[in-house]
Each structure stands twice: as structure tokens, then as C-alpha cells.
Structure 1
């Protein structure tokens, strides 16, 4: 039996299949972080294409936490209406909607002050951030909690915390980028503390499914490897995180040898070691590859990135490759649309 097109339930949210659109920045928002008509077409077309869950791009919890000045935002109530339109468009075509809550940290390119756990620039092309004070940390935790409330008001089904790719939360986790000597630095438990606080703060406001995206391999001597994330994932499970979205890299400049399914073993390591649901991502481009990953138990969900940029109807192509017949997606709009 083909598992890729079986439904998948997380808490009380049921996805029509195991294909997830991975969060990918589009840099199409206006300078105030507001949703544009582009976003409705971009995400709506993937819902029409049969994706089970669409997680929208990194959405900033603070204006200074944007990667660029054209990132989507969720730091203010005025963002709710636009985000709600995305959700309604995705829901109309039978998909579930998730949002990735993010803070860019030292990789922010917006004007003004940028922050990180330690005053270390990503590379010579980036500015050197300020080391965060305890007050800064408290403000970021509150911003994630406030963003969760707005996401709920917009109607999202699932939240994902961005703790990967060298952005703020990731840089606290990594010993390569976190050189603090207070309770937020040093050993693994201290480096996890910011993420712990964010999850706790979100869980006070949000009782729906919660995912966390991680960079499970830093490809640098002294950096984190998948085995390190077993303990992080165990802590996340105790905090009612439902799934770990397993990516890798981009924490520090590094050479990465990428090939089909290259990140899947990282996901499997965390899944088995922490007994947690995981998502696999990275150069998964065919139905056969995706099916292989779920069939052998390496991952529970398949996160598709660039292949869905190339082909919004990837699920139908994957179904053909696996000899599965999918019914055409028919829109169901609320009255008054």
C-alpha cells in the first residue's frame, strides 16, 4: 500500500496526505511585512496541486527579526487580516495551513540593530550583531508568544518554530555561535534554554500542533550533529512538540555535499533516538523517493521545497509515478467569499 497518500493526523488536525510544502522565503511582502496578492496565488496554487499541509515562509515575530525588508510579518495585529486570507485560500482547496514563526538574528539584513547570542558575524558580508541582554531575550520570547496568538486568530492549523539555518534560535543551540557564559550558554541544557522558553510561552497561548525546524548537522568540526539533537528532541517532546522538521546546515559557512535524500538519515536518527515524529526534507524530487522515506520509517511527513516551486502540482505527478489516482481538487469557499 502507498503510504505517501495516506492521511496523517497530528493532534486533532488531519492532513489528506503526507506531502508538506516546506517554508521558503519569497521576499514578496511590502516593507511593512503585509501579505500581497502574490502570496494568495503562490500558496493557493500548491493547495490546488494537492499538497496536504502548506507551511508558509519564515514570518517575522519582530520587525528587526526579518531576514529582509520584504519578509512577511506577524509582529502586529495589522498582519492578521492578510494572514487570514492565505489560510482561507489554502483551506478552500482542501489543504491545511501552517506558519513558520521566525527571528533572523544575526542574519537579518534590515536597517537598525541586529542581535544574536554572541557578537559574532555570520561572515564578512554580514554585520556584527549585538550580544543579547536578558531583557532582549525576554522580549523575543514574548514576541513568539504574541505571534502565536495572532496565528491562531488568522486560523492557522499548525505552528512551526524556526530553529534552523543559522537564525536566532539556532544560534543559541549551537556551540559554534553561542559563546555566552550565563544561563543561556555553555552546556546543551543552557543553550536549549531560549527554545525551551519560547515553546513554553507558545504553549500557554496555543494548544494546537506545534513543529520545530532544526539544522541537524552543522558540517563543521565542533558543531552539532544529528546525535546531539536526540537530547534536544527529547526535551521538546516533554514540552508537547509534535514533530521535528529535520533540515541541516547554514549555521556557519560550510561546504555541504548535497545529493538526493542526503538529509533523510538525520531525520531517522532523531526519530528513533527520541521516539518522536519527524519530517524529512532535501532533494526529494520524485514520488518514488518520497514513498521510500515513509515506507522504511525514516520520516512521518515529506517536506518538499524547490520541487514544489518548479511544479505546484507535484503531488499529482508523484501519484502518477506511484500508480495512485487522485481526485481533482475542488474549491470549497465560505459564503461571502
Structure 2
């Protein structure tokens, strides 16, 4: 093998709150367009946002489950860019002082276990949704904007560039979804966009420790698409390098029908977003007592439940992994066993 892939994932998880991050509008999915909106989430003049307390609670909960450090002092920032689905012309996010730093996710691919470290987790608001009259923006006569999703609370979970294949990226996402569902902070329904992934991919000669120029595939909404998109992009970049070309840092989209990535725009850097502290929101201070209170709420996680099913109930590693992937399944299985059913027989059913 001549080249090695270097992959880092940025995952957006929509939090399962009843109302948006800075206003009282509903977060319910599937409503009529532009019915779950108000002056705050539309960014009309003279309004002031107020942080939804449950968003902070879920962020701390997720950070603890992912072994992060919870920052005692964090703040919100304005990320400035223009796009039609962003009514304020900026996104309220977190930049240099996020709520969580560090952390890790353990994955298993083909019997090989790896620990993938996290850079950070931060809170932010979602943008709206563009609805094209055709199949895509390229062949549409018109585009409508639905602002119902604007202001829906998100956690952005940023991983270190330590993944080395599409299969590892898929395992990472499956594990992350399982953890978020166990916590009850998100339903992670990819088909509804409540879990979305941006994949940063570069290639470098095997043995090199220098990072190559990366491209980013935006808003991939299925695990198979993430794996296929990464594998395609790695091959595309390797072919360019073999032909003596250079990789352009850019944002690309995944075309499922054609099985290729497509150039969308040249990639911005942090300086292009002109981050500055959000003046309408006070900084967030989290006490050690509050962090410990949230820690006591954590359920038994898959990494602890899986070996317990093997040790206490005599299940195989395969059966235990399968049964603990989703909390609802694991809870039901344990309830059946407590009624006196043999664990292996219950597992088979």
C-alpha cells in the first residue's frame, strides 16, 4: 500500500429537547414549513436569546460519557457567514472556550481495538433547510427555505484525525450513536437529520507523519455513505498525487447515485468566519457539584454492559455486542432473563 488515509469526523447530534436552544419554539420534526419560528430564532431586530438549560445539561452528560474534561467556564461565539438558510447571517456556536475538551471513543473493527481521541464537544444552533424544486441545487428552477430547524440545539463532536479507513469511521459513528441513545440526549435518526457527519480526509505516503491537504465531505446522512464516500475520496486523492497533481482544500458533497464526491466550494479557514464572543449571551460557569450531579445520572454504558453480559450471563462476545448496541434491546433482554428464561435462548430470540 502506497498511501495511508487520515480521517477526522465532525459529527452533529441534534439534542432531544422540546424547545430550541435560545427560544421557546418547538423542535418537533415534520411540521409545516416555517411554523415553528419566532422573532428570536429568525434573528429579527431587538430580540435577545436565552440559553435552554436542558441543552447545557445534555452537553455535560454527553461529555462525561465520552470521558471529556468539562470546562468550568465556557462561552458562546458568533460564527459569521452568509447562506440563505441562516437568517441572522451568523451562527451562534462555541469557538475557543467550548463546554467539553478531550475525551475518546473505543472502537473494534475486525477484532482490532483502537481508541480514537476527541478534540472537543461544543454547543451550537442548527441552520434552516433548503428545499430544491429539482433533485439538487444544480438542476432546480427554484429553492425554498424552511426555518423550522433554525435554532434547534446541536452538539458538535469533533474527533482527532486518527481514523484510517472507511470501516473505522463507520464503527466510530455506530458507537457514538449507541452512546447518545443510551444517554437519552438524542434519538440520532439519520433519516431525519438528527445525526449528521462531516468527514475530513487526506492521504499521505505510508510511514510519513506529515498531514496531507484535506477535503471535507459535508452532511453525510448514512453510515454506508460515510464509508463509501471516504473510500472513494481516498482513492481520488491518491490518483491525483500519482499523476503529479496537488490536492485542493475544498468542501465536497457525496452523490449516492453516482458513487462519487462532487466539488461544492473552496474550503474556508477559521479566520474567514470572523469569530467573536456572543454579546447577547452571558458566559457559562459549571460547578464541580453540578458536574458530579450529572455524573450520577449516567446509565450503564455499552462498554460496561457488554462485558457484564459475557461474564454474568455467559454470552459470546458477538451476542453481547449485538444485544447492547441499543439500550431498548438490552433492557428488554435483561427483563426477559430476570423472568427466568435462559440467557442464550433469550439472546437467540
Common topology (TM > 0.5): no
Answer 1 or 2: higher relative contact order, Cα 8 Å, separation at least 6: 2
Higher relative strand content = 2
TM-score by length of 2: 0.28
TM-score by length of 1: 0.29
Higher relative helix content = 1
